Amino acid sequence: MFLEPIDFATMYCEHKKNTDFKGKSSSDWDAKSATMAASVINSPYVNDFISRMKLTGDEVVLDIGCGPGTLAIPLAKRVKEVIAIDFSPKMLEELKAYALREGVTNIKTYHLGWEDAWNILPSADIAVASRSMEVADMEKALTKMSAQASKRCYLTYKVGGSFIDKEILDFIGKKITTKPDCWYIPLILYAQGYLPTLEYIATQAGALRYSTSDEFVQSLIWSVHHLDDEQQVKAREYYDTFIVGENRPPKPFTWAFIGWETTK
């Protein structure tokens, strides 16, 4: 196989280790659970994701990193059952509240993350990981995900290697090491013997609006963990000049939608 001399799995691990975009803890996501629930539920992204899945209606779907139920609730209305797992207990609470509001009763929740053992999980036909693949070892995560699904898997992963526009980073003078880009994933899957497909989902710009400069600065710090005082001043200047003054919000994200059949 022509890719054999290139160890993309190890390259990913080294790249991920050095990036400025570090993974978040369960407590980080606990603190963000309520605001995230309000911003992502019923977004156009949900329909874009689900419309790309092959569904007959009788499947059991495993939702890995389910968050506040962004996909789990809409999927539960279309399939036999959803198994929803997340390492943030507050996210699972948001999901249960969302399910109650929608009258959805065919979801089982488990407080589990990528690093936990999944042997207690029921068997599933399909596994999904929506924007939840910020893992230290992609090969290990993909292997684990594939093993849980008897039919197929679907995931989304940020395109471009950064959660912040390069224009913003240049303006505020923040140098970063980008995160691994989406192309590692199909290459690793191909090396594992799968034939993945790749499409793209563009989010809506309106979802990226901020109500204050402080909120904008905090969103940048959430992504890169630290901005010095001068960079924060420049970030507020960018907000006032471009986002407010020119009504030019940051560019919307594009997500790679990757799917593969788990039977080789």
Listed by start position, the domains of the chain span 8-163+177-205+252-261
Q: Are 68 and 98 in contact (CB under 8 A)?
A: yes
Beta strands in the chain (DSSP E): 60-64, 81-86, 107-111, 124-130, 149-158, 197-202, 254-261
Residue 203: per-residue pLDDT: 84
How far apart are alpha carbons 240 and 262 in whole angstroms?
A: 49
pLDDT at residue 190 is higher than 50: yes
Confidence at 18, pLDDT banded by 50, 70, 90: very high
pLDDT at 30 over 80: no
Contact 155, 130 (CB under 8 A): yes
Mean pLDDT of the 187-204 span: 93
For the chain, give the number of residues.
264
Lowest mean pLDDT among 96-100, 179-183, 207-211: 207-211
**pLDDT value at 210 more than 70:** yes
Lowest mean pLDDT across 74-78, 178-182, 243-247: 243-247
Least confident residue range of 75-84, 200-209, 233-242, 248-257:
200-209
Mean residue pLDDT of the chain comes to 91
What confidence score (pLDDT) does residue 206 get?
44
How many Cα atoms occupy the beta-carbon half-sphere of 209 within 13 Å?
A: 9
Query: Sorting pLDDT into bands at 50, 70 and 90, what band is 72?
Result: very high
pLDDT tops 80 at residue 175? yes
Q: Quick one: 8-163+177-205+252-261 is in which CATH superfamily? A: Vaccinia Virus protein VP39 (3.40.50.150)
Q: Are 41 and 68 in contact (CB under 8 A)?
A: yes
pLDDT of residue 23: 77
Contacts with 242 (C-beta within 8 Å, 6 or more apart), sequence order: 248
Q: Tens digit of pLDDT for each residue in 77-123?
A: 999 999 999 999 999 999 999 999 999 999 999 999 999 999 999 99
Q: Tokens at residue 60, please?
A: 């059991």
